[in-house]
Amino acid sequence: MKDRINRTVFELWTGELIFALIAWIAVFFVRDKAIYSLCLLIGTLSAMAASYHMWWALDRALDYGEGGAPKQIRLQFVYRYLGMCVVLGAVGIFFGSYVIAAFVGLLGIKFSAYMHPLTAKISTLVYGQEILPPRIEYLYDEEIKETAAGQE
């Protein structure tokens, strides 16, 4: 998985997990602790999937050029939003009033975005400058550099 995500997604996931741990403190104030924890976990995993999808959609939209990129970004936003609605609807159907816990888990994506500078500093302190290997996607650029170096 390390070669499939970049550092920003990893830091967003870290922020979402921190938010989930903070939100889990409320487990002491609810009646059914297992259902609350499960719904919070479902919301947090959905937020993590949504943040990965957001990165993936933005990365792929650049391939569509100036004309197609905004349309592709809007389309992927609608897919992501509908996915979140489906998750909340399913939690509401199966777990009733604990849909709020899933919604709080989904709010982790917002918390994580706002706290990204902090999580970036923490990850730099803990893991050094680079915590994940760079994605090797632009091999064509490397071939151009090697060809140019060979011609000189």
Gap between the Cα atoms of 128 and 147, Å rounded: 33
pLDDT tens figures, 95-122: 888 899 999 999 999 999 899 888 888 7
Percent of the chain exceeding pLDDT 70 equals 79
Record the tokens describing residue 125, joined without a space: 């302190």
DSSP 8-state secondary structure symbol assigned to residue 24: G
Q: How confident is the model at residue 2 (pLDDT cuts 50, 70, 90)?
A: very low
Prediction pTM value: 0.75
pLDDT tens figures, 15-74: 999 999 999 998 888 888 999 999 999 999 999 999 999 988 888 887 877 788 888 889
Percent of the chain exceeding pLDDT 90 equals 41
pLDDT tens figures, 28-40: 888 889 999 999 9
Gap between the Cα atoms of 134 and 105, Å rounded: 29
Gap between the Cα atoms of 9 and 148, Å rounded: 33
| pLDDT score of 145 | 57
pLDDT surpasses 80 at 146? no
Q: Which uninterrupted H or E stretch holds 51? A: helix 33-61
Gap between the Cα atoms of 61 and 6, Å rounded: 17
Residues in the chain: 152
Beta strands in 18-150 (DSSP E): none
Q: Which uninterrupted H or E stretch holds 108? A: helix 108-114
